[in-house]
Structure 1
Amino acid sequence: MSIFYTTYESPLGCLTLYATASALVGLTFPTQSVTFSDPICKVERTSSPILTHTIQWLDQYFAGQVPTVTIPLAPQGTAFQQRVWSHLQHIPYGATLTYGELSQLVFHSPRPKGAQAIGSAVGANPISLIIPCHRILGKGRSLTGYTGGLSIKRALLSIENISFVDK
């Protein structure tokens, strides 16, 4: 399997975008990395229609617009992670959920340690920003961990005019 990548200079640092011929499989901030389950995959720097559409999406987002570009996504992860990431994709621009609320959506009932399981899946998201894990807040709308770093999470929430409690 071939994976194509390029970089994107964002206001928050250099992002790396990864795609197959048919879908985006990774988007990382400078503090993140992504691994692919296929040990024989070939990763090469080039352009592709998926990467071009992703750059258009990012241009709209960082201009403060709700992105209108549609990008096929194919994040690699467990069935549970896929379920969590699917829920993340339904959080609208400018809206948030708490880890507890997301846990309720995923498990359909209160579950001991559910928010922690959700946190692990959210933290494993390989397509940051487009699968909007930055829209997940802690209890009481508090700012909590983000794989890209809290300064990046603050900036992303600010772009979307989302209020939060910064402890």
Structure 2
Amino acid sequence: MDRAVTKVYFTTFTHSIFQNRPLYLAATKHGLCRITWPTESLDTLETWVNKQIPNAQLIQDNNVLAEYVLQLQEYFDGKRDTFTIPLDMRGTLFQASVWQALTQIPFGQTRSYSDIAEALDNPKAVRAVGTANGANPIPIVVPCHRVIGKSSALTGFRGGLNVKESLLLLEGFNDYTKEGHARFQF
């Protein structure tokens, strides 16, 4: 019996905030499912798709992703503070609950990892929240950059602390300290 093939469409997005290095955006018929960071390659996207969407066919198609690219461009141009595109979040139930909580953090505001754990009625899950935050497959749109340490430190960030800081500044938020490990500097 043949399994149905899931079409996953992708395109690239570049912006000066990332020194014009490409982000890969991917979507299924249900919505945006993945955005890579500029430190990640097309191979990273392919590996993620193969793991998360078995029997998928990856197809480059700028037209299918045009609305996703437009909304990202509007965000970076300061013309959008919320996204209205459909999302196809792929992860565990706990991860999905964390990612859903991230979408509730308003533009220009932040929450701590413990704030998210408490919002999920699981105050001891601070580290698990951090792990789920780091595994967020749709950064920027699902704003993992809006989560900082309880002490207002930027803390670790898969996209790089300089990118996290740039995204927060883009949103007008500057009440943080530049502490934490500097992963993926470029």
TM-score, length of structure 1 as denominator length: 0.91
Instruction: Report what 1:25 is aligned to.
Output: 33
Counterpart contact for 2:83–2:141, Cα < 8 Å:
no
Contact 1:21/1:48 (8 A) holds in 2: no
- Residue 121 of structure 1 aligns with which residue? 132
User: Is 2:52 aligned against 1:40?
Assistant: no
Question: Aligned in 2, Cα 1:69/1:132: closer, same or farther, shift over 3 Å?
Answer: closer
Task: Let me know the Cα RMSD of the aligned residues.
Answer: 1.5
2:87 aligned partner? 73
Contiguous gaps of at least 5 residues in structure 2: 1-5, 180-186
Question: Counterpart of 2:117?
Answer: 103
Cα pair 1:4 1:48 within 8 Å, conserved: no
Q: Which residue is 2:183 aligned to? A: none
TM-score, structure 2 normalization: 0.82
Pick from 7, 19, 36: which aligns with 1:2? 7
Is contact 1:16-1:27 (8 Å) kept? yes
Q: Which amino acid aligns with 1:43?
A: L
Q: What amino acid maps onto 2:22 in structure 1? A: C
Q: Runs of 4+ in structure 1 displaced over 3 angstroms? A: none
Query: Identity over aligned residues, as a percent?
Result: 36
Give unmatched runs, 5+ long, in structure 1.
none
